[in-house]
Amino acid sequence: MKEQDILGLVAQGQMLPLMEAFYTIQGEGYHKGTAAYFIRVGGCDVGCHWCDVKESWDAEKHPPTAIEKIIKDASPYKTIVVTGGEPLTWDMGPVTAGLKGAGLQTHIETSGAYELSGEWDWICLSPKKNKLPLAPIYKAADELKMIVYNKHDLEFAQQEATKVGPDCELYLQPEWSVRDKVVPMIVDFVMANPEWKVSLQTHKYLNIP
């Protein structure tokens, strides 16, 4: 297939730059401890300095993969988590339509920096200061997961929480490299603000993907 044709299919959401896909335990947020099949899509320009999958940023490093294959590989599993990179860089409509057609639960982990596309059973929104979410996704979010690197991130979290719906679950998660420093800060904050919950990257403690 010609490169121009491939790029056209990627633009239409019929192919996606697939970095990896794997079956594991969801380690974070509301669904932690749940078995899930992860689809990691390449491409992200949000540029978080503490990102632990920087190899996902350059979409050109990850082969455009037909969504039919992505859906077929996901079909044995119940809960599908689409993550990145930043998955909303691409049109998620076609792949989620196929996943839903196969009777699967669709979850997304996103910064919200791009227009929301796709059919989702659960939207985990994780805003970043350097590229804020677009306004419409706040009310659609089921979960707000704020990464805490320093005390100023707690102020940012409070600001972002004013934008989501009343039923959105609120989580504070320590950035892994500074977890020993920020966990006590998060614990104190949650005890003083019980509408928030603590999220830990339990998959790292369990030493699984």
Mean of the per-residue pLDDT values for the chain? 96
pLDDT category, 48, cuts 50, 70, 90? confident
Q: What is the rounded CA–CA span in Å between residue 153 and residue 146? A: 8
pLDDT category, 47, cuts 50, 70, 90? confident
At 152-202, the pLDDT tens digits run 999 999 999 999 999 999 999 999 999 999 999 999 999 999 999 999 999
Tell me what pLDDT residue 2 has: 77
Q: Note whether 107 and 81 are within 8 A (CB).
A: yes
Q: What is the rounded CA–CA span in Å between residue 113 and residue 46? A: 8
Task: Identify the domain containing residue 131 by its residue range.
Answer: 3-205
Burial of residue 73 (number of CB atoms within 10 Å: 0-12, 13-18, 19+): middle
Tell me what pLDDT residue 30 has: 98
The pTM assigned to this predicted structure is 0.95
Domain count, the chain: 1
Tell me what pLDDT residue 196 has: 98
Name which of 114, 136, 138, 121 is nearest 81 in CA terms.
121
The long-range contacts involving 160-166, CB below 8 angstroms and separated by at least 24 positions, are: 160/127, 161/195, 161/196, 163/135, 163/138, 164/125, 164/138, 164/139, 165/138, 165/139, 165/141
Select the more confidently predicted residue: 1 or 35: 35
Tell me what pLDDT residue 6 has: 87
At 83-133, the pLDDT tens digits run 999 999 999 999 999 999 999 999 999 999 999 999 999 999 999 999 999
Tell me what pLDDT residue 191 has: 98
Residue 174 maps to which CATH number? 3.20.20.70
For residue 49, pLDDT over 90 is answered with no
Tell me what pLDDT residue 139 has: 97
